[in-house]
Every structure is written in structure tokens, then in C-alpha cells.
Amino acid sequence: MRYNFDKHIERSNTASIKHDLKDIIFGTKDVIPFWVADMDFETPDFIRESVIKRAMHPVYGYTFRDDAYYQSIIGWMNRRYQWEIEKDWILFSPGVVPALNMAILAFSDPGDEIIVQPPVYFPFFSAVKDHNRTLVYNQLIKRDADYGIDFDLFEKQAQTAKLFVLSNPHNPVGRCWNAEELNKLATICLKNNVLVLSDEIHSDLVLPPNKHHVFAALSKEISEITVTLHAPSKTFNLAGLSSSSVIIENPELRKKMKTVLQSMHIEMGNIFGIEATKAAFNYGEPWLEQLLKYIQLNVNETVSFLNKNLPEVNIFVPEATYMIWLDFSFTGLLDEELRNKMIHEAGLGLSPGKDFGPGGSQMMRLNVACPKEILMKGLEQMASVFRKK
């Protein structure tokens, strides 16, 4: 491997949310952090070099996104997903969560019903509630080894809903939705005039042989009702550079979204985000292939370690993302007791499942995007505390 994902990077004292806010989040600094969804790996060299090169120029004045920026995104979508998009379709947002909030403002009114699929990334809930829209839970169906969609319920809910926020792939349950599932959702949305906000921030992190399906790319008809949210931030570990895209084919929808984006005056973004995006999408594939292999290795190691040493934990092996969704219901502990035991006895900072809404109770989300050695240390600590004596 050209890149060394085993390398330990000291992230303390870099204003890292994951590493420097442990005492605020967990009440102690003495935990190994496996929570926030960023990676403890180096952002790849070719991205750092592009940022450094720009930083060496002595003026950081007002900047726009040049044609090369748009071409890098167009090229990435075409090569990786055979999705042909045009420059005009791409709008900028500093982040996917801000884009989601602005899309909700653009495409719905107070009181409108918006469907989400918990247990799901919790800013989906606040994006709906903070703007006085109505949350509709299409709770995922927990099966033995993975999660499925309650289509019957979705069909009923779609009759009165305005929007559907899809996590494609799904955080935290790790599903890479297949074409059949997505087409079923799309058919229902088309029939009922429900607009789809497809959050595809984890799409590049699909573990082979699974294959990501861009929701909007399923058909021209579906593209007309879809707003796609994408970013280089999860894939290349550059969330601190605040750059993401909102991709919309339908000109009417695009106009509405643009009106809200422009009203916020946040279009400029930042110089380094622009350079990093270009480098990531133009040169990122070989690095990404290696990253995915390393994540798969860490997933495999976690599964085999827990199966051997803590077999009571039910593991939802991810098809995508670097998060593993773990079921701790065998402990019989209440959520707060489980959280405390994980923090204060096992010395581990995971994301508590209950934060992800209905269906999250007694679950924990483990972020495995870290050197294997650190992951194994964490798993040892977990097993030694939760193993049945």
C-alpha cells in the first residue's frame, strides 16, 4: 500500500471536535474517541499539497469557483457513478447539513410533513423541527443482520408528506440501499408528488462488492423530483474545509434552492475548500481504493474480535460508511447506564444509539476509521467490561 493508514496522528490540541471536546461530551478526557464521523487518518498528500500551494500565495481575497472546480465534480460523478451532470446543476453549500436545512426552507412550508427513516443521522430531526415542519418517522425494520424499509408505511405516509429525506447510504445502520429498494421508494414518491432530498455524503464510502446508486440517476423522471447532497468531506477527511454541493437537474427546483442559498449570502465558501475539492475529485481514486480496503479490514477485524470475545453483541455489518452499528440490548441496561458503563468503565467514547431517534435505544455506533491498533485496544476494553463474567 502506498498510503499508511496505520500511522498514528496526534490530533489533540488541533481544536478537533472528536479529540478535544471529549471532556465536554463524555465528562472525562479519559476515553478513546470512536464517535464523530471524521477519520483519524491523514487527509491525503495531494490534497494537503494543493491547499499548501494556494496558502503560499500571499493574498486570500474574494474568490469564485472556477470552471475546473465544477469539472472536477462532473468528472467524479461520471467516472464513479456513470451519472452525467451539468455545471449549472451544481450549487454550493458550506455543508450538507446547512444544505439540508436550506432545502427544507426552499421546498416546504411550516407544518408540512417530512419523512425521515430512523434510526438516522440526528441533524435530520432538527432540520425538520427547527423550521416548524412536522417530523414523520418511517422507522426502519430491524432484521437479524441488517435493516429494511417499511414500504407499506412509507406508502401511507407519502400521501400527505411534502418531502422525504433519504440517507443514501444510511448512517448509522450502514445499508447501501439497492436499486430495487430505491426504485420502490422513488415510485411511491413520484406517485404522491413527494420531493426527495437524497443525502449522499457517504456514497463514496461504499464497501465493495456493494454498489452505490445515485437516487437521481435511477431515471430522468426521478431526477426531476430529487435534490442530491454530496461532499468530498467524509471521503477525504476534510470536513474542516466546509465545502459541499447541492445537485439539482430540475430548473424550477434549482431556482427555488438558489433563492434561499443566495438569501443567506454564504455562496463564497473558502479558497482552501475549492482547491481541496478539485484535488480530491481529480486525483483521489487510488487513495480512496486503499482507504476502502483499510476500512473493510477494520470492519472484518471488529466482527471477528467481537464474535469471539463478545458474541452477545449483535453486529450490523456495514455495506457502506466507516461506522458499525452495535446492539447492546443483551446487557439489559437502560441507555444512560449503557452510556456510563461505556465511558467510565470501558473508557470508550462511542455515539449512543438513542441520539439517532426511534429504534436507537440500547444501540451504539462505533467509528472504525482509525489505525487498527487503536481500534483493537478499544475493542479489548469493550470486551473486558461487557463480557459475561
Ligand X SMILES: Cc1ncc(COP(=O)(O)O)c(C=O)c1O
Closer CB to ligand X, 231 or 292, in the complex: 231
> Which segment (141-149, 231-239, 263-271, 277-285) binds ligand X by CB under 6 A?
231-239
Rg (C-alpha) for the chain, rounded Å, is 21
Cβ-contact 379, 313 below 8 angstroms: no
Closest CA to 196 of 154, 230, 164: 164
Give the x/- contact pattern for ligand X in 103-142, rule: CB under 6 A. ------------------x---------------------
Q: Please state the closest distance from residue 6 (CB atom) to ligand X, in A.
A: 24
Q: Is 37 in the site for ligand X (CB under 6 A)?
A: yes
**Closest-CB residue for ligand X?**
95
CA contacts within 13 A on the Cβ side of 248? 22
Grid coordinates standing for 104? 427544507
Q: Tell me which residues in 83-102 interact with ligand X (CB under 6 A).
A: 95-97
Q: Is 326 in the site for ligand X (CB under 6 A)?
A: no
Give the binding-site size for ligand X (rule: CB under 6 A): 13
Closest CA to 275 of 312, 304, 238, 250: 238
Closer CB to ligand X, 233 or 386, in the complex: 233
Q: Please state the closest distance from residue 51 (CB atom) to ligand X, in A.
A: 18
Q: Please state the closest distance from residue 307 (CB atom) to ligand X, in A.
A: 26
Cα–Cα distance between 158 and 323 in angstroms, integer? 29
Cα–Cα distance between 300 and 294 in angstroms, integer? 10
Cα–Cα distance between 19 and 38 in angstroms, integer? 11
Q: Is 244 in the site for ligand X (CB under 6 A)?
A: yes
Q: Please state the closest distance from residue 167 (CB atom) to ligand X, in A.
A: 5
Q: Is 222 in the site for ligand X (CB under 6 A)?
A: no
Closer CB to ligand X, 167 or 298, in the complex: 167
Closer CB to ligand X, 167 or 223, in the complex: 167
Q: Is 167 in the site for ligand X (CB under 6 A)?
A: yes
CA distances from 54 to 63, 203, 268, 271 (A): 12, 28, 16, 8
Q: Is 367 in the site for ligand X (CB under 6 A)?
A: no
Q: How far is CA 105 from the centre of its chain?
A: 21
Closer CB to ligand X, 177 or 386, in the complex: 177
CA contacts within 13 A on the Cβ side of 263? 11
Cα–Cα distance between 101 and 123 in angstroms, integer? 9
Q: Is 171 in the site for ligand X (CB under 6 A)?
A: yes
Is 190 buried (19+), middle (13-18) or exposed (0-12) by CB count in 10 A? middle
Cα–Cα distance between 196 and 74 in angstroms, integer? 21
Q: Please state the closest distance from residue 120 (CB atom) to ligand X, in A.
A: 8
Amino acid letter, residue 308:
K
Q: Is 201 in the site for ligand X (CB under 6 A)?
A: yes
Q: Please state the closest distance from residue 95 (CB atom) to ligand X, in A.
A: 3
Q: Is 235 in the site for ligand X (CB under 6 A)?
A: no
Q: Is 77 in the site for ligand X (CB under 6 A)?
A: no
Cα–Cα distance between 236 and 284 in angstroms, integer? 8
User: Which parts of this chain interact with ligand X (CB under 6 A)?
Assistant: 37, 95-97, 121, 167, 171, 199, 201, 231, 233, 239, 244
